[in-house]
């Protein structure tokens, strides 16, 4: 398997390239995740709110791939933040996935208006202690949210999964996370197709120069910057394309030209406004 692994701050390793299943139809999840596993993906990113954990679990079970070779992430939805509610939500996710443990369990959004994410994090610390989540982390956390966790709880999140693509790079939160040993997972790594990223000369030019596709160039940009990514596609040909990114390397000027595409354009809501 060509995918490099990164080491998390708790000593566990994570495949740097995975497959995300946001908006994957629950009725098609078995087929789509089975295709992804056949293509070679071993890291699957799902969430309770995606409604497709059962399909992910079916695909994992059908694959016959050893559990130790798989890396599975799921996430606690906002309305389950709290202590007992987080324990219950986690049990439900494990049950749907048909797993004895997940590799990574995340708080999906800080939802600061509810002021429950510190309590939820303490519940995740307990879940980690039980061994049923090997690693725990957060998603969509901004610097003030991370600062509060660092000040008020014991375990530093292993990752922060944030919207990150060339048009929206979140340099403050990324720098803060890296300085504190928190790996960055980039969601929407291709900008969810909502930006004409692939037509940008910096991307299209590098693609032509290397004989690769624009999507492969953007994925390569993430990998070379140290981001963990799990691009999503329902199409097996694109799954294979997005996985075929280990036979070329972008030069420093090519990376810089893509980084210069920052335009502070997020595809999703501001994390302070999601409840």
Q: Where are the beta strands (DSSP E) in the chain?
A: 5-7, 13-15, 19-20, 43-45, 71-76, 102-107, 133-139, 159-163, 183-187, 228-229
Check residue 144 for interaction with ligand NAD (CB under 6 A): no
Q: CA 117 → CA 79, 225, 232, distances in Å? A: 11, 29, 27
Residue with Cβ nearer ligand NAD (157 or 191): 191
Stretch that binds ligand NAD, among 16-24, 54-62, 146-154, 220-228 (CB under 6 A): 16-24
Interhelix angle 201-210/214-225, rounded to 10 degrees, is 100
Distance between CA atoms of 216 and 184, rounded to whole angstroms? 19
189, 195, 243, 245: which one contacts ligand NAD (CB under 6 A)? 189
Considering only residues 74 through 133, tell me which ones interact with ligand NAD, judged by CB under 6 A.
Answer: 108
Task: Report how many residues bind ligand NAD under the rule CB under 6 A.
Answer: 23
* Catalytic-role residue among 50, 105, 117, 195: 50
Is 157 a binder of ligand NAD (CB under 6 A)?
no
How far apart CA 242 and CA 181 sit, in angstroms, is 27
Contact between 210 and ligand NAD by CB under 6 A: the answer reads no
Within positions 158 to 177, which residues make up the interface with ligand NAD, using CB under 6 A?
161
Per DSSP, 168 falls in state B
When the beta carbons of 84 and 111 are compared against ligand NAD, the nearer one is 111
Q: Is 108 known as a binding-site position?
A: yes
Q: Is 259 left (phi over 0), alpha (psi -120 to 50) or beta?
A: alpha
Q: Pick the closer one to ligand NAD by CB: 134 or 168.
A: 168
DSSP bridge pairs for 133 = 102
- Residues found near ligand NAD in the complex (CB under 6 A): 20-22, 45, 108, 139-140, 161, 187-193, 215, 230-233, 238, 241-242
Q: Which sequence positions are flagged as catalytic?
A: 50
């Amino acid at each position: 398997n060509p995918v490099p692994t990164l080491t998390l701050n708790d000593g566990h390793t994570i495949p740097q390239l995975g497959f995300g299943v946001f908006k994957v139809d629950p009725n098609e999840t078995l087929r789509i995740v089975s295709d992804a596993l056949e293509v070679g993906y071993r890291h699957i990113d799902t969430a309770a709110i995606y409604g497709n954990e059962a399909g992910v679990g079916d695909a994992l079970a059908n694959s016959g791939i050893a559990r130790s070779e798989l890396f599975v992430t799921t996430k606690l939805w906002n309305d389950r933040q709290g202590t007992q509610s987080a324990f219950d939500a986690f049990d439900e996710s494990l049950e749907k996935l048909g797993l004895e443990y997940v590799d990574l369990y995340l708080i999906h959004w800080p939802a600061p208006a509810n002021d429950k994410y510190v309590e939820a994090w303490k519940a995740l610390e307990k879940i980690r202690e039980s061994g049923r989540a090997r690693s725990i982390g957060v998603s969509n956390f901004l610097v003030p949210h991370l600062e509060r966790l660092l000040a008020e709880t014991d375990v530093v999140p292993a990752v922060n999964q944030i919207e990150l693509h060339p048009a929206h790079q979140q340099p403050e939160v990324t720098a803060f996370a890296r300085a504190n040993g928190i790996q960055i997972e980039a969601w929407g790594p291709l900008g969810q197709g909502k930006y004409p990223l692939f037509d940008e000369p910096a991307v299209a030019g590098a693609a032509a120069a290397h004989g690769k596709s624009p999507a492969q160039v953007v994925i390569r940009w993430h990998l070379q910057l140290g981001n963990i990514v799990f691009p999503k596609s329902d199409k097996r040909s694109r799954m294979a394309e997005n996985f075929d990114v280990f036979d070329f390397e972008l030069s420093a000027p090519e990376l810089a030209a893509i980084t210069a595409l920052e335009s502070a354009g997020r595809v999703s809501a501001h994390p302070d406004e999601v409840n």
